[in-house]
Amino acid sequence: MLANIRGGGEYGPRWHQAALKENRHRAYEDFASVAKDLVERGVTDRDHLAVRGGSNGGLLTGNMVTQYPELFGAVIIQVPLLDMKRYSHLLAGHSWMAEYGDPDTEDWEFVRTFSPYHLLREGVQYPPTFVLTSTRDDRVHPGHARKFTAAMESLGADVRYWENIEGGHGGAANNEQAARMNALLYTFLWNTIGKDS
């Protein structure tokens, strides 16, 4: 299923601009609403609902883990933005400040509300999570994935991590690596949401 949430480009500039900076939360609220609707209409249930996203979609899925953990049976986060306090200092991050805001200014007050790394809390039952990145990602620094995974581990969360040493922002440098990455993803899904379906 494809959820066309505010912040995307599917419906023109106004649709995209509706979820910029201090309004970024709208994208996450929209996505969570789609997940809730799928369950309410009986299409699936929480235990069989997974979400997967990479790059900006990794920021989305990171926010699903931290803000809506009760909605998903499994979450896949790929080559993600997760530490929004430091994103603008790492690799291409500076070029995205028009989208997210400048965390080194008063913008941090709203940026922190969608910074998954900063939203992790003790005592929360997070869904099984698989974080994937690439050592050679030249757009989103792998430190985002490493730091978030370490924080989840410190909370005792059910988290898995895989870092390909090649591959750039796509996470895989060739078809063989892409096949391995996808096999890992689908095995994770089978072991979390697929066993009793």
The neighbour count for residue 165, using CB atoms within 10 Å, is: 10
Half-sphere exposure of 115 (CA within 13 A, CB side): 21
Separation of alpha carbons 192 and 184, rounded Å? 12
CA distance 121 to 179: 34
Distance CA 171, CA 140 (A): 11
55 is catalytic: yes
> Which run of H or of E encompasses 67?
helix 56-67
Given 16, 25, 33, 55, which residue is catalytic? 55
Which residue of the set 16, 25, 118, 169 is catalytic? Answer: 169
Residues acting as catalytic residues: 55, 169
